[in-house]
C-alpha cells in the first residue's frame, strides 16, 4: 500500500512451489529501481504466515509483520474471500482459451531440425526430474511423443523451496526461429501512472507461461529427451524464443 502523504508498502507474499500471488504490494526489480531507497528497504521487512483456507488443506500466504491488527485482519479477510481466485497447483490452472490465443512456433524457411543427444544428470536430480515429469503428465502439460524431428535437453533448476523446475535448452530451435519484434509496454510509464494512488497491487501469474497452449501443429518442435523417453509440450514452456 502506497499512501500519498506517508509512503509505505504493504507486502503480501504467497509461498508455494511456484508463487501464485507473489506480492500484493510491490516487488519486482523494475519497481524497486523506481522507488526511493527507504521504500525498497520496506520490501525486505519481516513477514508472518497466515492460512487463508482450511486446516486440512492449508493455503499459506505471507503478509508484512509490521501491519497493525486491523490491517492484518483486513488483508486476511480479503484474501480468504478470494482464495479460489488463485491457482495453488497445476490442476487449478484453467489456462487461456485457445480461441483467444495460442503460441505458434514459426521457423525460418532454410532451417533444419536438430536432435540433441541425451545429457547425463546426477541420480538425485534425476529422481526430482522424474517426479516433476509425472506432475506435468498428470495435468497434460506435456505428452509422450515418438519419432520427433526436433529434440532438446532439459535443464533442471532447483528452487529455494527444495523443489525442481524443469527448463529446456531450446538453443537450436530458437536459432531457427525468426525474431518477433513485438513492442512491450513501458514499465517506467506504468509505474508513473500509479502516482497519487493510495494502493499499488501487483500479481504474478502462477506458471504464467503454461497458461497458453502451443498450437497443435507446433507441439512436436518442443520435444525434449529424458532417460524415460521423449516428451513434447502441450502448453508454452519457458525458454522459447518469442514466448
Interior CA angle at 98 toward 95 and 111, to 5°? 110
> In angstroms, rounded to a whole number, what is the distance separating the alpha carbons of residues 61 and 52?
7
CB 90 within 8 A of CB 209: no
> In angstroms, rounded to a whole number, what is the distance separating the alpha carbons of residues 92 and 152?
28
Return the closest-CA partner of residue 205 out of 69, 90, 54, 126: 90
pTM of the entire predicted model: 0.66
CB burial class (10 A; 0-12, 13-18, 19+) of residue 103? buried
pLDDT tens for the chain, 243 residues long, are: 334 444 444 444 444 444 333 333 434 444 444 444 444 555 566 888 888 888 888 888 888 788 888 988 888 899 889 888 777 776 777 777 888 889 999 999 999 999 999 999 999 999 999 999 999 999 899 999 999 999 999 999 988 777 788 899 999 999 999 998 888 778 888 878 888 886 666 666 656 677 889 999 999 999 999 999 999 999 999 889 987
Written as nine digits, the cell of 28 is 519486482
> In angstroms, rounded to a whole number, what is the distance separating the alpha carbons of residues 168 and 159?
16
The reported pLDDT for the residue numbered 202 is 65
Written as nine digits, the cell of 129 is 526430474
> How many other C-beta atoms can be found within 10 angstroms of the C-beta atom of residue 157?
11
Domain ranges for the chain, please list them: 12-88, 123-185+207-233
The reported pLDDT for the residue numbered 190 is 80
The reported pLDDT for the residue numbered 178 is 94
The reported pLDDT for the residue numbered 28 is 46
123-185+207-233 under CATH 1.10.10.10, yes or no: no
The reported pLDDT for the residue numbered 171 is 96
The reported pLDDT for the residue numbered 204 is 64
Query: At a CB cut-off of 8 Å and minimum separation 6, what does 31 contact?
Result: 191, 202
Amino acid at each position: 500500500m502506497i499512501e500519498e502523504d506517508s509512503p509505505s508498502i504493504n507486502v503480501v507474499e504467497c509461498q508455494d512451489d511456484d508463487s501464485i500471488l507473489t506480492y500484493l504490494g510491490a516487488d519486482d526489480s523494475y519497481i524497486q529501481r523506481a522507488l526511493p531507497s527507504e521504500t525498497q528497504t520496506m520490501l525486505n521487512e519481516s513477514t508472518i504466515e497466515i492460512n487463508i483456507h482450511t486446516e486440512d488443506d492449508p493455503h499459506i500466504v505471507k503478509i508484512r509483520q509490521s501491519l497493525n491488527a486491523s490491517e492484518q485482519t483486513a488483508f486476511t479477510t480479503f484474501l480468504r474471500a478470494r482464495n479460489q481466485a488463485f491457482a495453488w497447483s497445476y490442476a487449478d490452472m484453467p489456462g487461456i482459451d485457445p480461441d483467444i490465443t495460442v503460441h505458434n512456433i514459426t521457423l525460418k524457411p532454410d532451417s533444419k531440425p536438430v536432435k540433441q543427444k541425451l545429457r547425463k544428470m546426477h541420480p538425485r536430480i534425476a529422481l526430482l526430474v522424474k517426479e516433476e515429469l509425472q506432475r506435468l503428465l498428470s495435468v497434460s502439460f506435456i505428452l509422450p511423443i515418438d519419432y520427433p524431428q526436433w529434440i532438446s535437453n532439459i535443464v533442471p533448476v532447483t528452487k529455494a523451496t527444495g523443489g525442481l523446475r524443469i527448463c529446456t535448452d531450446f538453443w537450436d530451435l530458437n536459432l531457427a526461429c525468426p525474431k518477433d519484434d513485438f513492442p512491450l509496454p513501458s514499465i517506467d510509464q506504468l509505474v508513473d501512472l500509479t502516482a497519487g494512488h493510495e494502493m499499488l497491487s501487483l500479481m504474478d501469474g502462477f506458471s504464467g507461461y503454461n497458461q497458453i497452449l502451443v498450437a497443435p501443429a507446433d507441439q512436436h518442435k518442443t520435444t525434449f529427451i529424458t532417460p524415460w523417453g521423449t516428451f513434447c509440450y502441450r502448453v508454452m514452456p519457458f525458454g522459447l524464443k518469442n514466448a
